[in-house]
Amino acid sequence: MSDIDEIRALTHRYALLLDTVTDDGIDQVFTEDAVFDATAIDLPVLTGREAIRGFWRAIFELTTHTAHTVSNHLVDPDGATGTYYLRAEMMYKDGSTSLVTVLNTDTYRRTEHGLRIAHRTVRPLLPLVRTSR
């Protein structure tokens, strides 16, 4: 598998793990020291795989359903960086919903287990849409 194919599979794996409500595969997505910077959408900077896992678990506690769709994936030919659109629809336990569309910019690092996300920056493409019950 080429680096570009491996990176695209990594991106799809990320979305699938979120939508199947599991953090079991987080080590298949992020490096141990990964940085997840979503400050542009009013979320904190998370440093380390365990901090990212904790963030996922918090989302799982609040939601009943999620659907993450990825598109417009571009990977630099060197395989070190890439971008893609992520659209996430979420239904919360209180009956409210949200829709967010962001641009994820990733830096990848090869580990002994394959390519992983070492740094992710999340920026909004559209305003957050939130409905209340």
Between the CA atoms of 89, 67, 6 and 53, what dihedral angle is there, to the nearest 10 degrees? 80
- Whether residue 133 has pLDDT greater than 90: no
CATH code assigned to 3-131 = 3.10.450.50
User: What CA–CA distance (Å, rounded) separates 34 from 23?
Assistant: 15
User: What CA–CA distance (Å, rounded) separates 85 from 124?
Assistant: 10
Strands 114-124 and 30-37: parallel
Domain range annotation of the chain? 3-131
3-state secondary structure at position 29:
coil
Residue of 76, 83, 90 whose CA lies nearest to 122? 83
**For 111-131, what is each residue's pLDDT tens digit?**
999 999 999 999 999 999 999
pLDDT band at 25 (very low <50, low <70, confident <90, very high): confident
| Number of residues that make up the chain | 133
